[in-house]
Amino acid sequence: ARAAVFGVSDGIVSNVALILGIAGASTDPAFVRVAGVSGLLAGAVSMAAGEYISLKAQAELVERELEIERTSIAEDLEGETAELAALFVHRGLTAEHAERVAAELMSDPEVALEIHAREELGVDPNQLG
């Protein structure tokens, strides 16, 4: 919501400044309208492109983090299981219960990756586009 408010504010200020500048240079209302609409379209395309690039970069970063986590699970299952158990203890489970839950979750590599992604990275790997 915050980004949307800033985006709208930026778009309004930019477009009003453009229209006022054009209106100061030309008194033809049609010319001012065309310039205003052109500025509006250019701003919309720019914002859309920026948002697309931002989301794409974020998705690539998360994919890379997931790949690192997948490799860690494959190469150090015991260490990753202990790490997950420690997270569960931090969340309030007893050490014994946390170790059992972590061991059970780590028995399936895809479930293990999903749990680590949620708990460590704070992302849902199923929602990546």
Segments making up each domain of the chain, as ranges: 2-127
Print burial letters for 25-39: b (CB count within 10 Å at least 16), e (below 16).
eeeeeeebeebbeeb
Do 118 and 124 meet the contact criterion of CB atoms below 8 Å apart? yes
> pLDDT value at position 80?
93
Do 26 and 32 meet the contact criterion of CB atoms below 8 Å apart? yes
7 vs 96: CA distance, rounded Å: 50
Question: What pLDDT digit, counting tens, does each position of 84-127 carry?
Answer: 999 999 999 999 999 999 999 999 989 999 998 988 888 888 77
Do 85 and 95 meet the contact criterion of CB atoms below 8 Å apart? yes
Most confident among 1-15, 55-69, 86-100 (mean pLDDT):
86-100
In percent, how much of the chain has pLDDT > 90?
Answer: 58
Nearest in space to 127 (alpha carbons), one of 75, 70, 55, 31: 55
Report yes or no on whether pTM surpasses 0.75: no
129: pLDDT strictly greater than 60? no
103 vs 124: CA distance, rounded Å: 21
110 vs 73: CA distance, rounded Å: 10
Nearest in space to 70 (alpha carbons), one of 101, 99, 111: 111
